[in-house]
Amino acid sequence: MSEDDVDLLDPFRQFFSFRRDVLVLSVAMFAFSLGFQMTSRYVPEYMSALGASAFVIGLFGTVGNVIGAAYPYPGGRLSDRIGSRIALTLFGLASSLGFVVWLVAPTLGTITVAGVVLEPWIWIFVGLFLAQAWKSFGLGATFAVVKQSVPPNRLARGFASTEVFRRTAFLVGPLIAAGVLYAFADFTVGFQYVLAIAVVFAVLATIAQHRLYDASEDSIGKEFEGVSEVLADLRGLPSTLRPLLIADTLVRFANGMVYVFFVLVVTQFREVGLTVGAISLSPAVFFGVLLAIEMTVALVSMPPAARLAERVGLKPVVGLGFLVYAVFPVLLILAPGDPLVFALLFAFSGLRFAGLPAHKALIVGPAERDSGGTVSGSYYLVRNAVVIPSAALGGLIYGGFSLSSVGVTFAGNPTLAFGIASAIGVVGVAYFALFGEEYEAYA
């Protein structure tokens, strides 16, 4: 096999050639990704069963965006101050506790605090702040490790190795969830069992990383110098990243408007299930199968896309991923309620991940060798901060709202919400096509 041939197992071979501490980090990332993917895509349906409105579900997505923007930077700083091993353990314990809070939310019932009635779904928000804690370390660490481990013209291939391994959990997790939910007629009860399994994975990963991670080479960084240091890092972003950052932010804002509602489109708006002979899959179970189809395409397409980027450059491959992100919402909401059509649509959605390794290479490529973590953290801080309100906005359009004080009422329109999302995404794609720059090593 020549060097340019595509070997779908090559990412795994490259992955297992990494150092022990990187392997431990990646295995833990796999376990936490498995727990999160088993649960997070179903949480909107779980919240709906607990009485949450479309706006509250959208607000859940917005809070997730807040966490995504706020956690990585201080998480990386904390790990520099106290050492990676202790930070990993603390973040792992917090994530495990978050899954536990989600698990017990229905049993807590409705409570009243200082005259304020708190519905059971409020605990889903509490659990979210904990469940996403581990991700605050993993993002910057992955960028920095790959940046330091592979030559510049192989960055996309290096990221493909870690992404394929990690995202295998994105395939396995929904299938586990679908299998568990298939065994229970009541969604809430079945999902609680899914959450219990996620707790087990998270606890085992926390124990494994604490015992196996080699902290002998950890160094304690300097003290955080405050907001001025954050601003300095943001100003230090390479100028070549600005068009990518603007386009990426538009595309992610569009996706963020409707992402949390994908499960509701399948289970409530279209009610798409699947019956094959004596086997009948409910819409909730079928959604897990759709996620597995999506990730299968993603895993198969990432390695050849990374190799393709070495031939044609990073920009075309990243642009393709952006385009899939942009048009998928409108295709999904307009599709007929046919299981085969939905399977094909989610397979198409999997192609958005094909550009992910090239996208990460385009982010970290222009950075100095020892600043990959800072550059990637600053990039995601800006992008995720702007995307914060997207899900709440999408929830208002999807489910409607009423402003009695000014006599304004909007009944809500899912088709409109998904259509606006795709329109914003297409603007981002066009902007990147016109102004996006190529990384020199791939030019």
**H/E element holding 402?**
strand 401-403
Two tokens at 88?
């990993």
Q: d(Cα 233, Cα 380) in Å, to the nearest integer?
A: 12
Which DSSP letter does residue 154 get? G
Q: d(Cα 390, Cα 253) in Å, to the nearest integer?
A: 6
In a domain, 219, yes or no: no
pLDDT band with cut points at 50, 70 and 90 for residue 169: confident
Q: Is the pLDDT of residue 256 over 60?
A: yes
**H/E element holding 333?**
helix 314-334
Q: Which residue has the higher pLDDT, 286 or 227?
A: 286
Residue ranges making up the domain that contains 59: 10-211+239-442
Two tokens at 269?
């708006």
Within 10 angstroms of residue 112's Cβ, the number of other Cβ atoms is 8
pLDDT band with cut points at 50, 70 and 90 for residue 305: confident
Placement of tokens 């290479």 in the chain: 361
Spatial contact of 98 and 130, defined as CB atoms under 8 Å apart = yes
pLDDT band with cut points at 50, 70 and 90 for residue 309: confident
Report the Cα 438 to chain-centroid distance in Å. Answer: 25
Q: d(Cα 328, Cα 347) in Å, to the nearest integer?
A: 11
Q: Is the pLDDT of residue 224 over 50?
A: no
In a domain, 226, yes or no: no
The pLDDT value recorded for residue 102 is 97
Length of the chain: 443
In a domain, 372, yes or no: yes
* Structural domain count, the chain: 1
In a domain, 62, yes or no: yes
Q: Is the pLDDT of residue 375 over 80?
A: no
Two tokens at 278?
């004596």
Within 10 angstroms of residue 242's Cβ, the number of other Cβ atoms is 14
In a domain, 148, yes or no: yes
Q: Would you call 87 exposed, middle or buried from its count of C-beta atoms within 10 A (0-12, 13-18, 19+)?
A: buried
Q: d(Cα 235, Cα 283) in Å, to the nearest integer?
A: 47
Name 409's bridge partners. 402
Q: d(Cα 175, Cα 169) in Å, to the nearest integer?
A: 10
> Do strands 111-113 and 116-118 pair parallel, antiparallel, or not at all (unpaired)?
antiparallel
Q: d(Cα 355, Cα 362) in Å, to the nearest integer?
A: 10
What phi and psi, each to the nearest 5 degrees, are found at residue 184? Answer: -125, 130
Q: Is the pLDDT of residue 1 over 50?
A: no
The pLDDT value recorded for residue 108 is 86
The pLDDT of 328-333, averaged and rounded, is 97
pLDDT band with cut points at 50, 70 and 90 for residue 418: very high
In a domain, 27, yes or no: yes
Q: Is the pLDDT of residue 57 over 90?
A: yes
Most confident of 73-87, 369-383, 386-400: 386-400
The pLDDT value recorded for residue 6 is 44
Q: Comparing C-alpha atoms, which of 49, 285, 295 is closest to residue 180?
A: 285
pLDDT band with cut points at 50, 70 and 90 for residue 223: very low
Residues 6+ apart with CB under 8 A from 223: 81
The pLDDT of 316-322, averaged and rounded, is 93
Most confident of 14-28, 57-71, 131-145: 57-71
Q: d(Cα 421, Cα 255) in Å, to the nearest integer?
A: 7
In a domain, 65, yes or no: yes
User: How much is the mean pLDDT over the chain?
Assistant: 82
In a domain, 4, yes or no: no
CATH of the domain at 284: 1.20.1250.20
The pLDDT of 49-58, averaged and rounded, is 94
CA neighbours closer than 13 Å in the CB half-sphere of residue 117? 3
Q: Dump strand ranges (E) for 287-336.
A: none
> What angle do helix axes 339-349 and 283-312 make, rounded to 10 degrees?
30
pLDDT band with cut points at 50, 70 and 90 for residue 406: confident
Region class of 295: left (phi > 0), else alpha (psi between -120 and 50), else beta: alpha
